[in-house]
Structure 1
Amino acid sequence: MVKYTAEDKLQAVERYLSGNESSHEIAKSLGTDNKAILKWVKQFEHNGVDAFIKRCTTYTQEFKLDVLNFMTENGTSLNETAAIFNISAPSTITVWKKQLETHGIDALQSKKKGRPTMKKEVWKQTKQVPASGSVEALEERIKQLEMENEYFKKVECLSSRQGNITKQDKAQVVYELRHKYPVKALVKLAGIPRSTYYDLVRRMNQPDPDADLKAKIKAIYEEHEGRYGYRRIRDELANHGQKVNHKKVQRIMKGLGLKCLVRMKKYKSYKGTVGKIAPNHLDRQFKAEAPNGKWVTDITEFKLFGEKLYLSPVLDLFNGEIITYTIGSRPTYSLVSEMLEKALERLPEAHQLLMHSDQGWHYQMKQYRHTLESKGIVQSMSRKGNCYDNSVMENFFGIMKSEFLYMREFESIEHFKIELEKYINYYNTKRIKAKLKMSPVQYRTHFTQAA
């Protein structure tokens, strides 16, 4: 077997680090294998030139324990550990590990060189199983029960917070208890192999590769005050040039405990037939090819400070934009007529508008129908008791209540109205619609510019 000097090893490392030759080429020229070259490179990276200087190979008991504990806690391989601690032969660590497991900590004590005297006793330490019913057996059982009690308490705590327990969670609990109880006994209790535990511990000590992504997701979630679910957050990330699979965003949000709010029911304005019912011309054809082609409207109710408020908006099915709205303390006809008057101000002279609503009494009124007719607008109504015929408007009310009403605190009715105006503006100009991949106003602007 060829022995290489420190100079040979250093030259081989320099050749490899220059990038002009591969480890296989260098190994072939020196008559060795590429694993030896890579080992020298690793030793040089951790210890520099000192890695190749011949040194005393007598290691203290404390040093051996430090090496073994480091390898256990960080899950490093024999070669990595040897390179880090500047140990020439990785197999030496294997010997120490076996000595510790077989004969205990005293086996790591450095022995004096030379032949022992005849008078010295030679003994072998063996682990004796305490007799059943003895004090030692009782103490061992108590220790086992203490370990089980502490382990399951920590696991139960994790379970109550996140519902299910993963291998990573079990490894974390074992890692926390490793100084108090043997790792071998803990991993057996956790039901995970030791190799799996060491691998998970090594990953725990490494930087989180998704740290930046998690920070961005959390920032977007907080910016939109919890209104965004994982799909809209994915779209927002894409708008900033970072494409991430929606399943990964969902997984990260679940891990961070970020959830979108639920939706609530709306106010029902149907009071029977009080006027004329229009046919369902919309017929659930919720897609519009251009702005001001299909509008939908409805009324919803708020309860604040012991009072009721009623909101009457108009929504364009082309892009989901809120055209206008009115708000009042009573669901009177003037609430709807004023809304219609404001909406018609934004309607161009040349149009083919269809106006859809439910069969609420406001929309059956003669004044409402005649206003639509005078402007050449086709009136459409949902079928009786069928909320799905106007589901887009229902959907907006659900979003608005969950994102705005139920997650904010208001000082007064007037404060609520001010904040509502801000939210409608946010909804139109900034909030991403999942189907459009942008806000309603942005989508309308792009369409107008393209036309």
Structure 2
Amino acid sequence: MSKKIYTEQEIEILERNLNIKSVSSKSITYSSAFKIKAIEQSKTGMTSTVIFEEAGLPASLIGEGKAHQSLGRWKKSMAKQGQDGFLQETRGKGPGPIGSQGVSLEDKLAKANARIAYLEGNLTLVKKLELHERSVKNGTKAVLKTNERYTLINHIIREYQLKNMVKHLCEIAEVSRSGYYYWLKTEVNRMEKYENDWADYKLLYHVFLDKKKCGIEEIKMTLENEYNLVMNHKKIRRILRMNGIISPIRKAKPYRKIMKATQEHKTKKNLVNRHFDCGTPYKVLLTDITYLPYGNGQTAYLSAVKDGATGEIVAHHFSTSLKMGLVYQTLEKLPKVIQQDILETERYFHSDQGVHYTHPTFQKKVEEMGLTQSMSRRGNCWDNAPMESFFGHMKDIVLSEKQETLQDLWYAVEEYIEFYNHRRYQKKLKKMTPIAYRDHLLWAV
């Protein structure tokens, strides 16, 4: 049977159960009373699964087969030692009623055990606070959350079975006793919140993976568009952060010097001047080339054309060669997707000042297509920012795992472009995908 590792959320839920004495990431210690009660219920014909579920300990929480395994072990212990075997395991057991004739040796021993448990409880609290570098006794600013302190206090009281120690532990943790009791009183509400958060987390994690490890805003738009569910972005961030789910953050590209144009190669003016979105599809077309490593130090290249208004990738070509054929074949695919019935006085084809785009043959082909060529200023990547942004996001996903073969790399690129055009919601596109926003604009024309 595999060893179950309990998450922080599962540990917090288990610690609230009165049948639990203590719990760690790898084990659960049940109370003596629950062990005896479980054995008695088993004698009446109840199965171990039912016994644990009625005690608030379903298999989905404690692990499959754990109930049957634990109950079997308790029965063997009961057969050998009887109930005393369970009772003797209880630490910090308080003294019995004190008679009028004084305190017996047994009572004194029980009091001493309670005192030891109390001191150990204090030490445990301080150690846990220092472990988190959030000690409340060293004079530094306390940053441990109040509910986390309440949790530690409650854990120590139950683990060591302390009585009348709440006030002292609250003073150590610098929290109010009334606040602690209110926290205990609202346990049911917190449990409901945890259950609701867990159900939401499963949906959010599914969207996170389905949308290629996207960010908070894209998850929010996906919920609204595909699930008809409105969820506050703060709640999404809180649930994902609580479960350690973080979307990848792209690092800024280092400065890359643009190749100097020769006398034969002519640069063009920056006619677009960062006005990428003119509100009309296919009026401003942006293009660039990026490299994609694969295999054992091999490199492939992707040339793509992006519509400035909708963000749609309208044409692209994938190749292992960086020769002029890469951009020529990209141009050949362009007329197949651009709508020719949109009346515009001028359309722009914008790029950087790379050697491919300053080549006279390329410039002639662009002119023959009825496009006016525009170029970014020298060494200024911001003048073609939407194209750079697309390549950056694409590489985050496509290169997140090493692509061993050219076929694998090509398939990953094609899959991402299809996803980007048809399934990636963007806030600036009125929470639509590029294709949906393109159709929206064309319908409005």
**1:250 partnered with 2:241:** no
Question: Which of 312, 315, 319 is matched with 2:306 structurally?
Answer: 315
- The residue type paired with residue 260 of structure 2 is G
- The residue type paired with residue 276 of structure 1 is K
Per-residue CA deviations over 1:8-52 (Å, capped at 9, x if unaligned) read: xxxxxxxxxxxxxxxxxxxxxxxxxxxxxxxxxxxxxxxxxxxxx
Equivalent residue, structure 2, for 1:398: 392
Q: Counterparts of 1:201 and 1:411 in 2: how far apart (Å)?
A: 55
Distance 1:258 1:150, change over 3 A: same
Question: Which of 162, 168, 180 is matched with 2:147 structurally?
Answer: 168
Q: Counterparts of 1:422 and 1:382 in 2: how far apart (Å)?
A: 29
Offset at 1:397?
Answer: 1.3
Question: Which of 190, 202, 208 is matched with 1:221 structurally?
Answer: 208
**1:196 partnered with 2:179:** yes
What is the TM-score with the length of structure 1 in the denominator? 0.64
Equivalent residue, structure 1, for 2:59: none
Equivalent residue, structure 2, for 1:290: 280
Equivalent residue, structure 1, for 2:51: none
Whether the 8 Å contact between 2:317 and 2:329 is mirrored in structure 1 is yes
Q: Counterparts of 1:371 and 1:327 in 2: how far apart (Å)?
A: 20
Offset at 1:271?
Answer: 1.1
Q: Counterparts of 1:269 and 1:335 in 2: how far apart (Å)?
A: 21
Q: Counterparts of 2:292 and 2:397 in 1: how far apart (Å)?
A: 14
Q: Counterparts of 1:231 and 1:380 in 2: how far apart (Å)?
A: 32
Q: Counterparts of 2:408 and 2:182 in 1: how far apart (Å)?
A: 55
Matching of residues 108-257 of structure 1 within 5 Å: 146-155=120-129, 165-179=144-158, 180=160, 181=162, 182-205=165-188, 206-208=191-193, 209-226=196-213, 228-239=214-225, 240-257=227-244
Equivalent residue, structure 1, for 2:258: 270
What is the TM-score with the length of structure 2 in the denominator? 0.65
Whether the 8 Å contact between 1:267 and 1:300 is mirrored in structure 2 is no
Equivalent residue, structure 2, for 1:424: 417
Deviation larger for 233-242 or 147-156 = 147-156
Offset at 1:328?
Answer: 2.1
Question: Which secondary structure state, in structure 1, belongs to the residue aligned with residue 293 of structure 2?
Answer: strand
Question: Which of 298, 313, 321 is matched with 1:330 structurally?
Answer: 321
- The residue type paired with residue 323 of structure 1 is V
Per-residue CA deviations over 1:300-341 (Å, capped at 9, x if unaligned) read: 122222112221111001111111211222322211111111
Aligned residues: 322
Whether the 8 Å contact between 2:284 and 2:349 is mirrored in structure 1 is yes
Distance 1:256 1:157, change over 3 A: farther
Offset at 1:404?
Answer: 2.8
Offset at 1:232?
Answer: 1.3
Equivalent residue, structure 2, for 1:260: 247
Whether the 8 Å contact between 1:313 and 1:324 is mirrored in structure 2 is yes
Distance 1:229 1:185, change over 3 A: same
Offset at 1:444?
Answer: 1.5
Question: Which secondary structure state, in structure 2, belongs to the residue aligned with residue 248 of structure 1?
Answer: helix
Whether the 8 Å contact between 1:298 and 1:358 is mirrored in structure 2 is yes
Offset at 1:122?
Answer: 9.0
Whether the 8 Å contact between 2:256 and 2:379 is mirrored in structure 1 is no
Q: Counterparts of 2:435 and 2:330 in 1: how far apart (Å)?
A: 20
Gaps of 5+ in 2: 1-32, 34-93, 104-110, 135-141
Whether the 8 Å contact between 1:230 and 1:250 is mirrored in structure 2 is yes
Offset at 1:412?
Answer: 1.8
- The residue type paired with residue 244 of structure 2 is G
Deviation larger for 262-271 or 368-377 = 262-271
Equivalent residue, structure 2, for 1:380: 374
Distance 1:164 1:260, change over 3 A: farther
Whether the 8 Å contact between 1:263 and 1:399 is mirrored in structure 2 is yes
- The residue type paired with residue 192 of structure 2 is P
Q: Counterparts of 1:249 and 1:425 in 2: how far apart (Å)?
A: 26
- The residue type paired with residue 443 of structure 1 is Y
**1:433 partnered with 2:426:** yes
Q: Counterparts of 1:316 and 1:374 in 2: how far apart (Å)?
A: 19
Equivalent residue, structure 1, for 2:7: none
Percent of residue pairs identical: 30
Per-residue CA deviations over 1:117-139 (Å, capped at 9, x if unaligned) read: xxx95989xxxxxxxxxxx99x9
Q: Counterparts of 1:294 and 1:210 in 2: how far apart (Å)?
A: 44
* Cα RMSD after superposing both structures: 3.2
Per-residue CA deviations over 1:40-87 (Å, capped at 9, x if unaligned) read: xxxxxxxxxxxxxxxxxxxxxx9xxxxxxxxxxxxxxxxxxxxxxxxx
Offset at 1:183?
Answer: 3.2
Question: Which secondary structure state, in structure 1, belongs to the residue aligned with residue 334 of structure 2?
Answer: helix
Question: Which secondary structure state, in structure 1, belongs to the residue aligned with residue 267 of structure 2?
Answer: coil
